[in-house]
Every structure is written in structure tokens, then in C-alpha cells.
Structure 1
């Protein structure tokens, strides 16, 4: 994986976190509902964002594993 792709993955995750935080804050400010409902909704949204982040992290980890395996193969072939 190139440095550009690695940075792109990080930028996506950072954007996802910031976007979720801004969306949650806007929802709280403009929500015409009780505090209990708002807290439940915020908890649900937090879990949803956390699950998405874990999925993206797993994808990034898998990509990095593939890159490392490719480098190992290339190095082994060069040595032989």
C-alpha cells in the first residue's frame, strides 16, 4: 500500500468521525424530543459509528497485511 493510500484511509476515518460528531451535535441542538429519547438516540448513533469505524479498521488492517505479504514475497524472490 502506498503512503498516499494509507493517508487516504486515515483521512476517510477522520472524516467519518468528524462528520458523525457534527451530525450528532446538530441533531441534539435541533431535536424536539425529551432528554431520555435524545440520550437513547445518541447512544444508538454512537454504537453505529463505532461499528463502522471497526469495520473500516478491519479493512485497513487486511489491506496492510496484503501489502506486507507482497513485500515479503518480493524480497524473497529478489534474494533467491
Structure 2
């Protein structure tokens, strides 16, 4: 969660700094608007790339967690079956004979 906040803060700061830098630079209005549009497009592309990487990382993490859970559940299931079999064996051994 901290990485997401850090990345968002960096991107936000970069965007604000870029816009302020362009606005205070001596240029004609049409040139300034073009620069802002170009930088906005660049930032949007950068954000798309970053979000794609984040999405991929999250998908990988979910996949690993799913595999770990399935393995853990499978092991627990095997242990439970073995314990049930042991209990049944103990019951059959300890049955009173009348």
C-alpha cells in the first residue's frame, strides 16, 4: 500500500511540476497549450505503463497465494484423512469383544 501511495505522489508531483514549469516559461499561449497537451499525453502513457505493471504484479501475487493455499489445503486434507484412518484403526483395535 505504501508503494502505491509513493508512486501516486511521485506521479502527481511530476505532473504539477511540469504544468507549473510550462505555465511560467515565457512562450505564446498556443505553444504553452501544445506543451501541456503533449506532457499530459506523456504522463497518461506513463501512468498506463505503471498501472499495467502493477496489475501484472498483483496478478502474480494472487496466483502465488492461490497455489500456496491449494497446497496448504491439500496437505491439511491429507493429514485429516490420515488422522481419521488412525482413529478408525484405534476404534477397531479397542472394540470390546463380548
User: Mapping of 1:1-80 within 5 angstroms?
Assistant: 6-29=1-24, 31-80=25-74
Higher relative contact order (CA 8 A, sep 6+): 1
CA distance in 1, matches of 2:65, 2:31: 51
The answer to whether the 8 A contact 1:17-1:49 is kept is no
Segments of 5+ residues of structure 2 without an aligned counterpart are 75-98
Q: Alpha carbon RMSD of aligned pairs, Å?
A: 1.2
**Does the 8 A contact of 1:13 with 1:53 survive in 2?**
no
Question: So what's the TM-score if we normalise by structure 1?
Answer: 0.83
Q: Shift in Å at residue 51 of structure 1? A: 0.6
Structure 1: 5+ residue stretches without partners: 1-5
Deviations 1:28-75 (A, max 9, x none): 11x221100000010000000011011100100000000000000000
Count of residue correspondences:
74
Once superposed, which parts of structure 1, at least 4 consecutive aligned residues long, lie more than 2 Å away?
none
